[in-house]
Chains A and B, each alone.
Chain A
Amino acid sequence: MTAPPSVAESRLDTRYAAETPEGIALWLRPAGVVPRFYAYLIDAAIRFFFVSISFLVFALLGTFGDGLALVLVFLLEWLYPVAFELSAGAATPGKRMIGLTVVLDSGLPITPAASLTRNLLRAADFLPSFYAFGVLSMLFRHDFKRLGDLAAGTLVVYAPRTELLRGTPPPAPARAPAIPLTARAQAAIVAWAGRVSRLTEARADELAEIAVPVVVPRAMDGDRVAALVGVAHWLLGRR
């Protein structure tokens, strides 16, 4: 008999659980090819801008300036992402604009060694041309790691949301359910009540119709949605 699939394998979405020493899971949301491509384009534009500017400005300094400009090009080519990934937001300006950030796959903040590894191995991802190997690697993996990410043990993830799902049920008089409910059923009703304000009335009623006959049968004729939201309030502790 085979072991049941782990949580990660059975998931349909690409959320990635990094377990912490405290025994909780940090849920990371890896970013796929398209947002990373946009971020790359923005970064490429920024780099191009600074390279052009630096050649113009340093040309005024004569041959000493030529040398500095070439050193700057080198730094922009190879160390531009490293410098930004080690700064506070852990992301290049392009990634920041798209809302991405780079972390270790343990959920920890990125280290200098990991950042340098993933960015130097960019040269391998680029081969044979236009990041073909990098894109292939990302497409084949659930966590969208390119080759550099594989070696460095890093993930490009969506930055944590600043606004949270509120999911508080709309006001309604609390009412006790007619029968004892299992934990799963309680969670389902509370979750539904949290979504009611974002559903159309018809859809909310349609969903309520599944639960109401069992949970509060006497409310079948009246406002079913209000009755079930009332049960949710009761379950949450307003009694």
Chain B
Amino acid sequence: MTPLQFEAQHAAAWQELDAALAPTSRKRGSAPADRARIAALYRAACEHLAIAESRSYPVWLIERLEALTSRGHQLIYRQADFGIDKLRRLFLIDFPTAVRAHRLQVLIALVAFVGPLVVIGVLAYLDPSLILSLQDAASVEQYEGMYGDPDGPIGRRDAASDWAMFGFYIRHNIGIAFQCFAGGLFFGVGSLFALAFNGAAIGSTAGYLTWRGFGANFYPFVITHGAFELSGIVLAGTAGLILGHALLVPGRRSRLAALEHAARRAIVIVYGMTAMFAIAAALEAFWSSARWVPASVKVGVGAACWLAVIAYFLFQGRPRRGSGSTR
């Protein structure tokens, strides 16, 4: 068969596929029968391309078929990955399950974060000048106004409003969490550093403020949003360590393949951790800083939040006992 005969024989089918793939014909939701027809035409075009290549047909034929099949491929294999169901499934099952599936990384992240937090916290309490080697003097001076007893909300440098602080917490804290995740690409070192650094900074602040006698304002302030923020930063580090772990211990995959595989698992934790930071930002801006809420209420609500978060990661999304399946 000559190229011209080949083209004449199949041109009608190619034109039909071309028209079906045009953006205008897809807008108004094609009928199911249409879709089956498109799939059949697409498979035929793929076959024609393979034949044309093996017979060294002229370039215009091959290019035409390549363009046609690549457009068809993009349309046919498009994944509908969005949707409320997917989101519900993420928070009810996928996120807590992913966290439990990586307990090694969670444990390392926890140690890397809580270790410096406690050690530096105790040291800063015993020797308050230590805080000056971790934070600059100007910001330490401001703690007086932030956690002391003037009027204004707790934990603010100036008289910023709740909304402004909400924006600040979203941008600043989630940014840090994303960087903590990205640092995992360097064999996990970046994540470990971010965890330890943030742990040390928070520990030194807590130690200093306790020594200064502001504990009664500081701890009720942090306890509620801390449930989401502190566990959020540990999970950001966990997601980073999943990448780092895959690079260090790729198992039977190549390092690159292991990284790709790990990233698909880690991103689930990143989704969840981002949501936790958003909750934390809202709580920190509108609830934690409020002077009108008595400290005892804040401690009570905060404790309930901690219990809820811990229970969520321990129990949420486990298969029902005796159901025999995981879904």
Contacts and interface: CB of A to CB of B under 8 A. Distances in A.
B185 A64 contact: no
A164 B174 CA distance: 46
A59 to B, nearest CB: 11
Interface in A6-41: 20, 22-24, 26-27
B50 interface: yes
A199 interface: no
Given A67-B166, A74-B175, A122-B182, A152 B260 contact: yes
Nearest to A108: B77
A165 interface: yes
A14 B174 CA distance: 37
A190 to B, nearest CB: 5
Contacts of B162: 67
Contact of A109 (B2, B67, B78): B78
A124 B2 contact: no
A151 B256 CA distance: 8
B185 A121 contact: yes
A138 B181 CA distance: 21
B260 A124 contact: no
B89 interface: no
Interface residues of A, number: 57
Tell me whether chain B's interface is mostly helix, strand or loop, or mixed: helix
Interface in A175-194: 183-184, 186-187, 190-191, 194
Contacts of A20: 46, 69, 73
A123 B63 contact: no
A165 B263 contact: no
A194 B57 CA distance: 12
Nearest to B285: A67
Interface in A150-168: 150-153, 160-161, 164-168
Contacts of A42: none
B164 A164 contact: no
Contacts of A165: 59-60, 63
Contacts of B79: 108-109, 111
B164 A151 contact: no
A187 B56 contact: yes
Interface stretch (A204-212, A220-228, A231-239): A231-239
B285 to A, nearest CB: 8
Contact of B55 (A71, A122, A168, A183): A183
A113 B164 contact: no
Nearest to B65: A24
A67 B67 contact: no
Contact of B70 (A26, A70, A111): A26
Contacts of A68: 163, 167
Interface string B114-156: 0000000000000000000000000000000000000000000
B183 interface: yes
A74 to B, nearest CB: 4
Given A109-B79, A123-B179, A151-B260, A24 B190 contact: no
Nearest to B63: A164
B175 A78 contact: yes
A116 interface: yes
Contact of A71 (B64, B73, B167, B190): B167
B163 A73 contact: no
B270 A184 contact: no
Contacts of B267: 113, 116-117
A73 B171 contact: yes
A177 to B, nearest CB: 14
A66 B77 contact: no
Interface of A: 20, 22-24, 26-27, 62-71, 73-74, 77-78, 107-109, 111-113, 116-117, 120-124, 127, 147, 150-153, 160-161, 164-168, 183-184, 186-187, 190-191, 194, 235-238
Top 7 closest A-B pairs, CB basis?
A70-B167, A237-B2, A67-B163, A63-B161, A187-B56, A237-B4, A123-B182
19 contacts: A22-B46, A24-B50, A62-B161, A63-B163, A67-B166, A74-B170, A74-B171, A78-B174, A108-B73, A121-B182, A121-B263, A127-B186, A147-B185, A164-B67, A183-B56, A187-B58, A191-B59, A194-B60, A237-B4
